[in-house]
């Protein structure tokens, strides 16, 4: 199959265009320049992949299995159509009745098997809700990850047994060809997708929810409802507000959480965990050392902001994904009045201008991009403080590609800052909480940062920075986070805040609150 993939992809680049005709506006009476599929139709016609007869393209006509096979053969530079896809195992089996309409799952299977997508390392299980029973579910998920099939994560449907139209087939063909050329041959554009969630706090009721009958803890439920987002991202991050301890677990005000919180983050698939928080020294030196020792068992995860010794503190955390090296830094404004012992100032990374300038200069020399995670600001305030803005400007001027903020326990807006050298840097001032038991109406509303770091011939930058609403579900015995768009009404009715806030507690109320925060002038 690898040989087949290579032949097809080579053809994508060197194909001379036998059979091409020039597409012009108005060529087909049913294709208008404002339609979403116009560019895809033009690409397929100009490439000679689809050449309908007459002046009607048939954009809403169902495509047959035979037509799909012919298109795939043309992309491969072959003329054998059905024989080609069967002989090379591109079709799942010999359909027999090739003039019947092609189902979407059939198209997905065949297009996935002409795409060399070994750079996709995780199936986005659950990302498309209605494909679980499809024979082509792995192929659908893979093409979804590639961006060939697209939709709103967590809410999309594919309708695998529906028939595929000619316009849809054109779009899939155009996306596949351009994706393959860009990812496999050009190498001129590399990208890494990031998501980040807010503060995971070990409040006593949250810990009690994870306590099992045998005395052990299991916090898998915390992240089970955002699993598809974690799986789909190249880099998934979370702020672990509280340290881990071996015993004597405690909640507010001096936290000590079971290490099973960390195990839940490991099992969920988080790549980066930040620990520089105002609660990082709640359990003193012992809490820091127990926490760092825990994360030492999981070297595949970058734990930031806390160090077991001076040598570790001097290291810059670098994560390399998809050909881009990204430095990761994490600082906190305070330790809630605690002081690091003499000779142990390295244990927690604090916001200090001299240190930041030094760290970022070193990071800049070692990486393509820098993401800074800052624990800062005023609690329960939706507007960023001037101190946050000052630190954000410093980070940008020192070379940050993106800045992600934590600590206020409520959502603050995402804005852009222009660095001294003219680069635009997105700053997420606060993502609020993720897991918590805080009782204020606003503290249940959280956010997920979603952005891409891109490297191409023009340099490195952050693209498409989005901030998406998240809600913490709080119910006796069950704590979990959901994207607000995924939050079921039946769960909202069970939320503990429903009793406290009555009819005010609605999904729509949280949606309106989120919009008012992120769109404030």
More confident residue, 398 or 124: 398
Is there a single domain that holds both residue 235 and residue 326? Answer: yes
Per the model's pLDDT, the better-predicted residue between 15 and 104 turns out to be 104
* Closest listed residue to residue 149, CA positions, set 132, 114, 174, 121: 174
**H helices within 258-404, ranges in order?**
260-268, 284-296, 310-314, 353-366, 386-397
35, 394, 467, 516 from 412: Cα distances, Å: 37, 19, 10, 10
User: Is a pLDDT exceeding 60 seen at residue 160?
Assistant: yes
Q: Is there a single domain that holds both residue 194 and residue 180?
A: no
The per-residue pLDDT for 341 is 97
pLDDT tens-place string over residues 331-371: 999 999 999 999 999 999 999 999 999 999 999 999 999 99
Predicted pLDDT of residue 513? 97
**Structural domain ending residue among the three candidates 186, 206, 229:** 186
Average pLDDT score over residue span 81-105:
81
221 exposure class (CB count in 10 Å sphere: 0-12, 13-18, 19+): middle
171 and 268 assigned to the same domain: no
pLDDT tens digit sequence for 290-305: 999 999 999 989 999 9
The domain boundary residue, chosen from 161, 186, 211 = 186
**Residues 412, 264 within the same domain:** yes
> What is the number of H-type helices and E-type strands within the chain?
17, 13
Q: Which residue has the tokens 């009745």?
A: 97
Note the pLDDT of residue 113.
72
Residues 275 and 396 in one domain: yes
pLDDT digits (tens, 9 = 90+) for 235-266: 999 999 999 999 999 999 999 999 999 999 99
Amino acid 106: pLDDT: 86
Residue 163 has pLDDT above 80, yes or no: yes
How many domains, in total, are found in the chain? 2
Do 435 and 508 fall into the same domain? yes
pLDDT at 100 exceeding the cut of 70: yes
| pLDDT in the model for residue 147 | 66
SS3 of residue 42 by DSSP: helix
- More confident: 448 or 125: 448
pLDDT at 321 over 90: no
- For residue 124, name the pLDDT band (cuts at 50, 70, 90): very low
Domain of 377 in residue numbering reads as 189-518
298 burial (CB, 10 Å; 0-12 / 13-18 / 19+) is middle
150 and 165 inside one domain: yes
DSSP string, 142-172: HHHHHTSS---TTTB---TTSBPBHHHHHHH
> What is the C-alpha to C-alpha distance for residues 193 and 187, in angstroms, rounded to an integer?
17
Q: Is the Cβ–Cβ distance between 29 and 55 less than 8 Å?
A: yes
Structure tokens at 458: 């023009």
pLDDT of amino acid 10: 36
In this prediction, residue 123 carries a pLDDT of 40
Taken as a whole, the chain contains a residue count of 521
| 169 and 199 inside one domain | no
User: Which element (helix H / strand E) includes 41?
Assistant: helix 38-46
> Is residue 39's pLDDT more than 50?
yes
Report pLDDT digits (tens) over 433-451. 999 999 999 999 999 999 9
Q: Both tokens of residue 266?
A: 């490991």
- Say which residues have a Cβ less than 8 Å from residue 422's Cβ, sequence separation at least 6: none
* Rounded-to-integer distance, Cα 294 and Cα 279, Å: 17
Mean pLDDT for the chain overall: 87
User: What is the per-residue pLDDT for 118?
Assistant: 39
How confident is the model at residue 6, as a pLDDT?
Answer: 36
Q: What is the CA radius of gyration of the chain?
A: 26
Q: Is 401 exposed, middle or buried (0-12, 13-18, 19+ CB in 10 A)?
A: buried
The Cα–Cα gap between 255 and 288 comes to 12
- Sign of the alpha-carbon dihedral angle for 284, 286, 291, 296: positive
Which of 117-131, 213-227, 458-472 is the least confident region?
117-131
Residue 249 sits in the same domain as residue 130: no
Same domain membership, residue 208 and residue 118: no
d(CA 453, CA 423) in angstroms, rounded, equals 13
Q: Say whether both 222 and 87 belong to one domain.
A: no
**In this structure, are 86 and 146 located in the same domain?**
yes
- Write the pLDDT tens digit of every residue in 132-151: 778 877 777 777 666 677 54
CATH number of 302's domain: 3.60.21.10
Among 121, 153, 186, identify where a domain stops. 186
Residue 128: Cβ-neighbour burial (10 angstroms; 0-12, 13-18, 19+): buried
**45/168 Cα distance (integer angstroms):** 14
Residue 278 is classified by DSSP as T
> β-pairing, 424-431 with 402-406?
parallel
pLDDT attached to residue 115: 61
Q: What pLDDT score was predicted for residue 26?
A: 80
Of 13-17, 453-457, 465-469, highest mean pLDDT = 465-469
């Amino acid at each position: 199959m690898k040989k087949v993939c290579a032949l097809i992809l080579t053809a994508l680049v060197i194909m001379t265009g036998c059979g091409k005709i020039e597409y012009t506006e108005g060529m087909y009476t049913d294709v208008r320049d404002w339609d979403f599929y116009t560019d895809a139709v033009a690409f397929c016609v100009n490439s000679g992949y689809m050449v309908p007869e007459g002046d009607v393209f048939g954009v809403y006509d169902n495509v047959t299995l035979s037509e799909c096979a012919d298109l795939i053969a043309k992309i491969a530079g072959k003329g054998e159509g059905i024989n080609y896809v069967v002989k090379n195992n591109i079709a799942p089996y010999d359909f027999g009745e090739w003039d019947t309409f092609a189902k979407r799952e059939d198209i997905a299977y065949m297009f996935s098997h002409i795409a060399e997508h070994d750079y996709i390392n995780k199936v986005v299980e659950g990302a498309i809700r209605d494909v679980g029973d499809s024979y082509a579910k792995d192929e659908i998920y893979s093409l979804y990850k590639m961006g060939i099939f697209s939709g709103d994560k967590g809410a999309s449907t594919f309708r695998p047994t529906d028939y595929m139209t000619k316009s849809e087939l054109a779009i899939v063909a155009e996306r596949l060809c351009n994706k393959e050329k860009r990812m496999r041959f050009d190498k001129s554009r590399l990208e890494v997708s990031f998501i980040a969630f807010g503060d995971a706090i070990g409040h006593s009721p949250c810990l009690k929810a994870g306590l099992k009958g045998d005395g052990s803890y299991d916090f898998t439920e915390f992240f089970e409802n955002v699993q598809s987002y974690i799986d789909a991202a190249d880099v998934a991050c979370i702020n672990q507000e509280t340290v881990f301890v071996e015993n004597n677990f405690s909640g507010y005000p001096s936290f000590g959480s079971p290490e099973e919180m960390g195990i839940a983050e490991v099992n969920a698939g988080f790549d980066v965990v930040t620990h520089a928080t105002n609660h990082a020294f709640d359990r003193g030196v012992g809490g820091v050392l127990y926490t760092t020792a825990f994360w030492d068992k999981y070297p595949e995860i970058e734990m930031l902001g806390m160090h077991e010794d001076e040598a570790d503190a001097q290291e810059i955390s670098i994560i390399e994904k998809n050909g881009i090296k990204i430095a990761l830094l994490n600082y906190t404004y305070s330790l809630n009045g605690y002081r690091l012992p003499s000779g142990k100032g390295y244990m927690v990374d604090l916001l200090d201008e001299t240190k930041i300038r030094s760290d970022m200069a070193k990071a800049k020399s070692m990486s393509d991009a820098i993401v800074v995670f800052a624990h800062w600001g005023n609690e329960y305030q939706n507007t960023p403080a001037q101190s946050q803005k000052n630190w954000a400007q410093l980070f940008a001027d020192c070379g940050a590609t993106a800045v992600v903020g934590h600590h206020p326990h409520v959502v603050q807006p995402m804005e852009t800052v222009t660095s001294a050298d003219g680069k635009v840097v997105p700053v997420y001032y606060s993502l609020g909480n993720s897991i918590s038991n805080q009782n204020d109406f606003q503290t249940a509303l959280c956010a997920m940062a979603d952005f891409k770091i891109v490297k191409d011939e023009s340099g490195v930058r952050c693209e498409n920075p989005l901030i998406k609403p998240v809600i913490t579900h709080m119910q006796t015995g069950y704590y979990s986070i959901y994207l607000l768009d995924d939050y079921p009404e039946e769960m909202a009715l069970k939320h503990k805040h429903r009793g406290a806030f009555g009819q005010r507690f609605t999904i729509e109320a949280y949606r309106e609150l989120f919009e008012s925060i992120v769109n404030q002038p």
